[in-house]
């Protein structure tokens, strides 16, 4: 189950750099909120895939459900309920506001990741791990 993948680790570093640049320089209504969320699920996926051999259908589903859970926590104002609203780190990780646009961006990010994985492996997602 544990194994190191230089390819996914390289993509993790690239996506982390992209996310850092978006956070530092993008202060608009599209790149930061939409592309940032689109790429963050890819970043999480690649980071996990860098160190663990997990079937891509299961991993994609897990990352997507995790992203949905974080977004749901924003809907219920978890950061305020935990009194972490003054923590920059907590705001960065948990976020502060629910958005259906974020849900769409996460979904599209994982969809693209699954298509890329499928095209690289040439394997179909097993029926037990399919996300439909």
Task: Give pLDDT, residue 96.
Answer: 84
In this predicted structure, the answer to whether residue 129 has a pLDDT above a threshold of 60 is: no
120, pLDDT greater than 90: no
Q: Express each pLDDT in 47-67 by its tens digit.
A: 999 999 999 999 999 999 999
Q: Which of 31, 6, 12 is nearest to 113 (CA)?
A: 12
Mean pLDDT of 23-28: 92
How does pLDDT run across 62-116, given as a tens digit for each residue?
Answer: 999 999 999 999 999 999 999 998 999 998 888 888 999 999 999 999 999 999 9
Indicate whether 33 pLDDT > 80: yes
Among residues 1, 14, 33, 35, which one has the least CA distance to residue 112? 35
Count other C-beta atoms under 10 Å from residue 86's C-beta: 8
Question: What is the distance between the alpha carbons of residues 54 and 90, in angstroms, rounded to a whole number?
Answer: 28
In a domain, 81, yes or no: yes
Identify the domain containing residue 90 by its residue range. 6-129
Distance CA(46)–CA(15), nearest Å, equals 9
Question: What is the domain count for the chain?
Answer: 1
- What global pTM score does this model have? 0.86
Q: What are phi and psi of 28, to 5 degrees?
A: -125, -165
**Residue 120, domain member (yes or no):** yes
Residue 1 domain-assigned (yes or no): no
Q: Cα–Cα distance between 16 and 42 in angstroms, integer? A: 10
**Smallest Cα–Cα separation from 55: which of 108, 131, 132?**
131
């Amino acid at each position: 189950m544990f194994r190191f993948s230089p390819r996914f680790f390289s993509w993790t570093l690239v996506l982390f750099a992209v996310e850092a640049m978006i956070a530092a320089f993008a202060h608009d209504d599209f790149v930061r909120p939409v592309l940032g969320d689109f790429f963050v699920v890819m970043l999480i996926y690649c980071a996990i895939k860098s160190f663990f051999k997990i079937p891509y259908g299961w991993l994609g589903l897990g990352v997507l459900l995790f992203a949905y859970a974080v977004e749901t926590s924003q809907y219920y104002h978890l950061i305020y309920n935990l009194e972490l609203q003054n923590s920059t780190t907590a705001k960065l990780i948990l976020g502060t506001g629910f958005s259906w646009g974020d849900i769409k961006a996460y979904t599209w990010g994982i969809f693209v990741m699954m298509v890329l994985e499928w095209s690289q492996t040439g394997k179909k997602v097993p029926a037990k791990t399919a996300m439909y």
